[in-house]
Amino acid sequence: MADPKQAAKAGAENEAHIAVHWREEEYVYPPAKFIGQANLTDPAVLERFSEKNFPECYREYADMLDWDEYWHTTLDTSNPQFWKWFVGGKLNVSYNCVDRHLKKYKNKAALIFVPEPEDEPVYALTYQELYTRVNEVAAVLREDCGLKTGDRVTIHMPMILELPITMLACARLGVVHSVVFGGFSGEAAGLRAADSGSHVMVYADGYYRGGKKIDHKASADIAVEMAKKEGQKVDKILVWRRHRGQYMSAKPMIEGRDYFMDDLLKKHLRKKVAPVSLDSEAPLFLMYTSGTTGKPKGCQHRTGGYLAYVTGTSKYYQDIHPEDVYWCMADIGWITGHSYIVYGPLALGGTSVIFEGVPNYPDSGRVWRIAEQLDVNIFHTSPTAIRMLRKTGPDEPQKYNYHFKHMTTVGEPIEPETWRWYYESVGKGEAVIVDTWWQTETGGFLCTTKPGMDPMKAGSAGPPALGIYPAIYDEENKDLKAGSGKAGNICIRNPWPGIMQTIWGDNDRFTRQYYTKYCKNPKSTDWRDWPYFAADGAVLPADGYFRILGRVDDVINVAGHRLGTKELEAACLTVKEVAEAAVVPVVDEIKGRMPVVYMALKPGVSDPQRVEKEVISVIETLIGKIARPKSIHVVSDLPKTRSGKIMRRVLAAISNTMDVGDVTTLANPDIVEEIRKQVQGTGPVQLKEGPEDVKLFGSNE
Ligand code: WT7
């Protein structure tokens, strides 16, 4: 272990620095029964995807799709880093996810909806019925809303079947969808609608969550207002009713703006809308995520490359066969849901489960009851959910008769102890586990074991995915080789079909954020000169299994969801009594990380507790409940450098009981001890050690 003093000196403002480290674990080998049926066991795949076969190796994924016109160039690098994939090809995503399966699987479930109320029956939607409904909705979008290829639509919806149906209807027309997580506020949805230039938003009236009826339509009015403030007119709100013919919201429908989908659909029953044959490079969707600045960025994903990548990785790493019952417990409002609930599984003719509720309601057996009832055999979730299920019902899984062949963990590092519970209790020792590391930007998996070929190692994501060539660079551009024991910035040396095209409307930010830092030659059109900077810290042991340490930028990964510290700080500053605010990550037993707010108030504020309450409420409305801070500290001043920069690393060190390091050069060094006492108390404090090797990771913007 490195000297924690050293660690603190290097800076502790980001997640990688407070990474909780565990020792290297032994290999666990995949069960023979799994290997016997796995999609990927042929060792020749390594040769096919070797670096010398790049980029042509990715034909293997593109050939899993039906193309209207085959492409002529696999990868065009003429305009770095705006790579083009499968150039000249034409296809339609909804055709690939729906129509093409009708011949063999029309009578098979495409999606299975599990409502939260247990007395409401499970609903299985066949491919034939999905086809009918996607066509009808496409007719509404085209004929009633006048939407056409290239237009954007913001979809702010919960986990109900109508969400993927609406996404696929957009894809049928080449309308670019931007799905905003249902748990986000109306303000957040409105901001995103404005950024994407959406005139139409799609809502649900309400849904069930944690035993409560949620009035979701109420967010629509707020979103429209917010978009208007940002200069964007939203003229139509389409409202799906959770219960056909009954309205769940207390908010009135606004004449001329709001329309019930079930009313509109009456005119389009059984109508067919031909899938639009789209350029491989046509944008398919935007997914907003947090970055280093206050403004969320719209990651723009393409049609051909994205679909090829999620299809190939769903087949090889999720091991989806049409006869499986696959359940990914993520929300469709995040990239995991797009890639691995909707697009990848459906492109393979899979059966994908959609669960409306929360995992521990009405009790901690719910998830396993669903698994038993539907005979789920592939399960996909996050370390946060696993920790929570373990905490609330460690012995529940064995009470239910289900059998998983395969399980996924995604979104955060998973500690070996949690991994073992997942393996032994949830998987009953029968299931293989993949720990998949990737990001909103990357479309699909970047590091994971090949489930039928590689041993698992608890606590490590694993080797790079096929065709992905990562490297770890330090701040001096030095390549940190496998086994060096040093942590650095993980980068991907090559382009791949799932990588985003750009940040919507901001090509410069795209370049700056991901490529400027390690670009070897800005004039070069050789992809080798343009490594992708992922903003994660990582270490690579000698066996080639990557260990991800966490974000090195101003992003906090809370329960597998990304929050920008700058977004949170901006929200705090909207409360007029707040003079200055700094947000830092703190380790949390269940959620991995949580934000902590430090703020100094303007002079003369008499009621700091009221201000704290207001800050929490503002954060919840502007961003969402998931951003609720773990604690708020009102302090007399924030530690600053002589040039006035707030030293977040010092605050992070205090919140995580790590050494604050040398603070003598600060403009106000005495404040550090004052804050430390305020947060940790006056007694002796046992410092936690930092990661085994900590380097100075710079923020890149
Ligand atoms: C960030 C991306 C990937 C879809 C869900 C999150 C962290 C993701 C892992 C993993 C350790 C992980 C990284 C990454 N992360 N997967 N298996 N092990 N860390 O997508 O919201 O874009 O967040 O999540 O820090 O940068 P996202």
- Pairing, β 555-558 against β 561-564: antiparallel
- Which ligand 1 atom minimizes the distance to the CA of 534? 26
Q: For residue 383, which of 336, 443, 429 has the smallest C-alpha distance?
A: 336
**CA of 552 relative to ligand 1 center, distance in Å:** 12
Question: Using CA atoms, how far apart are residues 623 and 673, in angstroms rounded to an integer?
Answer: 32
pLDDT above 90: residue 291 = no
For 593-603, what is the mean pLDDT? 95
- 125-138 residue pLDDT tens: 999 999 999 999 99
Beta strands in 88-225 (DSSP E): 90-91, 109-114, 123-126, 152-157, 176-181, 200-204, 206-209, 212-215
Residue 690 pLDDT class (50, 70, 90 cuts): low
Q: For residue 341, which of 539, 470, 164 has the smallest C-alpha distance?
A: 164
* Among 331, 410, 547, residue to substitute to test ligand 1 (most atoms within 8 Å of Cβ): 410
**CA of 617 relative to ligand 1 center, distance in Å:** 27
Higher pLDDT, 567 or 232: 232
**Residue 426 near residue 407, CB atoms below 8 Å:** yes
**CA of 546 relative to ligand 1 center, distance in Å:** 13
Question: Using CA atoms, how far apart are residues 333 and 313, in angstroms rounded to an integer?
Answer: 20
- Whether residue 498 has its Cβ less than 6 Å from ligand 1: no
- Which ligand 1 atom minimizes the distance to the CA of 535? 26
For 333-356, what is the mean pLDDT? 98
pLDDT above 50: residue 374 = yes
Question: Using CA atoms, how far apart are residues 303 and 280, in angstroms rounded to an integer?
Answer: 5
For 194-215, what is the mean pLDDT? 97
pLDDT above 80: residue 293 = no
Question: Using CA atoms, how far apart are residues 651 and 631, in angstroms rounded to an integer?
Answer: 13
% of the chain residues with pLDDT over 70: 96
pLDDT above 70: residue 88 = yes
- Whether residue 551 has its Cβ less than 6 Å from ligand 1: yes
Specify the residue with its C-alpha closest to ligand 1, atom 14.
439
pLDDT of residue 1: 31
**CA of 327 relative to ligand 1 center, distance in Å:** 19
**CA of 444 relative to ligand 1 center, distance in Å:** 11
Place of tokens 């093409």: 100
pTM of this prediction?
0.93
- Whether residue 195 has its Cβ less than 6 Å from ligand 1: no
Higher pLDDT, 532 or 696: 532
Q: Provide the edge-to-edge strand list for the sheet that holds 176-181.
A: 258-260, 236-240, 200-204, 152-157, 176-181, 283-289, 297-302, 502-503
**Residue 204 near residue 357, CB atoms below 8 Å:** no
Place of tokens 């995103």: 192
**Residue 196 near residue 168, CB atoms below 8 Å:** no
Specify the residue with its C-alpha closest to ligand 1, atom 8.
411
Specify the residue with its C-alpha closest to ligand 1, atom 6.
411
Q: What is the mean pLDDT of the chain?
A: 93
Specify the residue with its C-alpha closest to ligand 1, atom 23.
439
For 13-41, what is the mean pLDDT? 89
- 606-661 residue pLDDT tens: 999 999 999 999 999 988 899 999 999 999 999 998 888 889 989 999 999 988 88
pLDDT above 70: residue 556 = yes
Question: Which residues make Cβ contacts (< 8 Å) with residue 343, sequence separation at least 6?
Answer: 93, 97, 306, 307, 310, 311
pLDDT of residue 99: 98
- 454-503 residue pLDDT tens: 999 999 999 999 999 999 999 999 999 999 989 999 999 999 999 999 99
**CA of 605 relative to ligand 1 center, distance in Å:** 40
Residue 696 pLDDT class (50, 70, 90 cuts): very low
Centre a 10 Å sphere on the Cβ of residue 641 and count the other Cβ atoms it contains. Answer: 12
**CA of 164 relative to ligand 1 center, distance in Å:** 23
Question: Using CA atoms, how far apart are residues 398 and 679, in angstroms rounded to an integer?
Answer: 42
- Whether residue 380 has its Cβ less than 6 Å from ligand 1: no
**CA of 334 relative to ligand 1 center, distance in Å:** 11
For the chain, state the CA radius of gyration.
Answer: 25
pLDDT above 50: residue 9 = no
Tokens of 502: 């750009």
Residue 695 pLDDT class (50, 70, 90 cuts): very low
Place of tokens 């395969």: 406
- Whether residue 38 has its Cβ less than 6 Å from ligand 1: no
- Whether residue 201 has its Cβ less than 6 Å from ligand 1: no
pLDDT of residue 699: 35
Higher pLDDT, 487 or 278: 278
Residue 700 pLDDT class (50, 70, 90 cuts): very low
pLDDT of residue 698: 36
% of the chain residues with pLDDT over 90: 87
For 301-325, what is the mean pLDDT? 98
For 499-517, what is the mean pLDDT? 97
